Amino acid sequence: MSKCRTRLLPLGEMKEDTMIAASRKPGQAKTGIQRATGLDYGEWFALLDEWGAPGRPFREISAWLRGEHGMSAWWAQKLIVHYEQERGLRPPGARPGGTFTVGTGRTVRVPADRLLAAVADPGGWLPGVALTRRPGRSVRFDLADGTRISVTVEAKDDSRSQVHVEHQLLPDAAAVERRRAFWRERLTELKNRLEKEN
């Protein structure tokens, strides 16, 4: 088997057709992986099938691609995700463990310290939701259903901040859509309450 080779082009040397080709789906001509590795998705999928990739853990497949074929970790991850989706082993949006994650955010016209304090006290914006705060520097919580949320706050300027919620370990794509709607509604309520108090 030949080793993969990649060559990064300076931004000024990238042509529009190169950027368009990099965004194409598996099966289309002149994909980024073909330029980076010399093989297209179909050829890689055949190699993965022949090697016995279905049922093997993500890390094992990645190690094989990187060790045996000289593929970069980035290309290995991209190839494995496309392969598992194409073979029906992973639904679109699924994490390697089979769970899903959804995130949403809002910009709020209050300073970051005030927004972070409000987020860290979920009783004011998540009434009735059972949470266990996780230790560490970020505001993270474990929910009673086994899922987890991570909340980050970033100052936009002295009077505005952005809050982002990421809900992890969701069981399926339907839960992603339900949680996305829930978090959008909760963040809008938090934004309205804090801006009204301001």
pLDDT digits (tens, 9 = 90+) for 50-65: 999 998 988 899 999 9
Residue 10: burial class (beta carbons within 10 Å; 0-12, 13-18, 19+): exposed
**Cβ(154)–Cβ(112) below 8 Å:** yes
What global pTM score does this model have? 0.49
Segment 16-40 mean pLDDT: 61
What is the domain extent for residue 137?
A: 100-197
Same-domain check for residues 112 and 160 = yes
124 in the same domain as 71: no
Q: What are phi and psi of 33, to 5 degrees?
A: -65, -35
Question: What local confidence, expressed as pLDDT, does residue 29 receive?
Answer: 52
Quick one: 118 and 192 in the same domain?
Answer: yes
| pLDDT for residue 113 is more than 90 | no
How many domains is the chain built from? 2
Q: Do 118 and 72 reside in the same domain of the chain? A: no
Domain shared by 52 and 105, yes or no: no
* pLDDT tens profile 117-166: 888 887 888 887 777 766 544 688 888 899 988 888 888 888 888 888 88
Lowest mean pLDDT among 26-30, 39-43, 74-78: 26-30
Please indicate, yes or no, if residue 158 is contained in any of the structural domains.
yes
Last residue of a domain, one of 40, 62, 86: 86
Average pLDDT over residues 69-89: 88
- One domain, residues 60 and 107: no
* Separation between Cα atoms, residue 158 and residue 74, nearest integer Å: 37
3 assigned to some structural domain: no
Question: Could you tell me if 35 and 113 lie in one domain?
Answer: no
Of the pLDDT bands very low, low, confident and very high (cuts 50, 70, 90), residue 19 is: very low
pLDDT at 69: 92
- 6: pLDDT strictly greater than 60: no
Residues 62 and 112 in one domain: no
Helix (H) or strand (E) holding 181: helix 173-197
| CATH label of the domain that carries residue 128 | 3.30.530.20
In this structure, the answer to whether residues 65 and 134 fall within a common structural domain is: no
Segment 102-129 mean pLDDT: 84
pLDDT at 4 over 60: no
Does residue 20 contact residue 30 with C-beta atoms inside 8 Å?
A: no
pLDDT of residue 51: 96
Percentage of the chain exceeding pLDDT 90:
27
104 shares its domain with 193: yes
